[in-house]
Amino acid sequence: MILSKLRQLGHNRTRKPGGAATGALPPTPLDGGTLSCQVHDEAERPLPEATVTVVNRLNQQVAVGSTDGYGFFLATVPPGQHKVSVTAGGYQRLGTRVEVRTNRHTPIGAVQLRRDPESTLPEPGVWTFDPDHTEIRFVAQHIGMSKIHGAFREVEGRVLVRDPFEDSRVEVAIDAASIDTGVRMRDEHLRSADFLDVANHPKLYFRSDRLTQVRGDRWQVTGNLSLRGTTSPVVLDTTYLGTRSWNGTRAACHCTTELRREDFSVNWQQLLSKGIGVVGPTVRVELDIQAVLEE
């Protein structure tokens, strides 16, 4: 509600001497003021989920938050001189100083971020997963209470980087038997026909069909996951982490997704007396990937 009112400032506000706006913002504390800005990308599009941090003259943080879907940020802060820092993945940090007055609104206005040169996309070629620096982890709910954490210990993959980058392809093969939750009996059950059916389907396969940039360093990797003979579409929400030179040229990313067991015919279920499932219907998956450019 506060941010929707802020967006109306240019249409229905009146001003007092000194530039304070009335009638458009919610009341501020008598001993504080409000601070606002709208963050844009290099193409002047509103940039959501940018982080805005406000610190006072003693370098103490007095406010921090993220911009909304329209790139707006609004906070109530103590009066005085403040430093405002705006950051977003894939963009250079921008800083400015403002003077906030008691019971007044201080609009910083439009803030435009520039691309971070260190977030340059990988060059075309074949990038092979480094198994020592690649992890696939998952979390599943148990009896509607605690969470069980696990991982797949053996994974192979590569990224066929093309120009334009959106035409690139990702191919991943996971050894189903390498599942590890830290409990031997549970892992044996997960390998059985009730779940992964390792005897008949020793591998899980993921193949992408589309890479789409959301903004900055955020991408969506859309593809198909094959698990125990069933293939279903999957979307990986991906943060690109850039490239580094260390034992070769490396690129890295962090991905998350949520899988529904029923989409892959993993329908084993045992219910408690209150109808609560022993295993939850969804599994949260996280991937940390480092890939090395083949020479």
* Same domain for 136 and 69: no
* Same domain for 137 and 97: no
Domain with 88 in it: 2-115
* Same domain for 141 and 75: no
* Same domain for 156 and 105: no
Q: pTM of the full predicted structure? A: 0.80
* Same domain for 229 and 105: no
What is the H or E stretch that residue 185 is in?
Answer: helix 184-191
d(CA 157, CA 221): 14
pLDDT of 139 over the 80 cut = yes
Inter-residue contact 41 to 47 (CB < 8 Å):
yes
DSSP structural state of residue 124 = S
* Same domain for 111 and 133: no
* Same domain for 102 and 137: no
For residue 21, what pLDDT is reported? 38
Q: Find the angle CA(255)-CA(171)-CA(205) to the nearest 5 degrees.
A: 90
For residue 143, what pLDDT is reported? 62
pLDDT of 234 over the 90 cut = yes
Inter-residue contact 276 to 143 (CB < 8 Å):
yes
Quick: pLDDT tens for 77-107.
999 999 999 999 999 999 999 999 998 999 9
CB neighbourhood size of 58 (10 A): 7
Which among 85, 115, 145 is the end of a domain? 115
What CATH code is carried by the domain that includes residue 42? 2.60.40.10
Q: For 218, list phi and psi in degrees, rounded to 5.
A: -100, 130
For residue 295, what pLDDT is reported? 84
The label of the residue with tokens 């034992």 reads 247
Which among 80, 115, 150 is the end of a domain? 115
Q: List Cβ<8 Å contacts ≥24 apart for 264-273.
A: 264/225, 264/227, 264/228, 264/230, 264/232, 265/228, 265/229, 265/230, 266/195, 266/196, 266/227, 266/228, 268/194, 268/195, 272/143
* Same domain for 263 and 168: yes
* Same domain for 34 and 81: yes
For residue 119, what pLDDT is reported? 84
Question: What is the percentage of the chain residues whose pLDDT exceeds 70?
Answer: 87
pLDDT of 36 over the 50 cut = yes
* Same domain for 133 and 24: no
Which among 115, 140, 163 is the end of a domain? 115
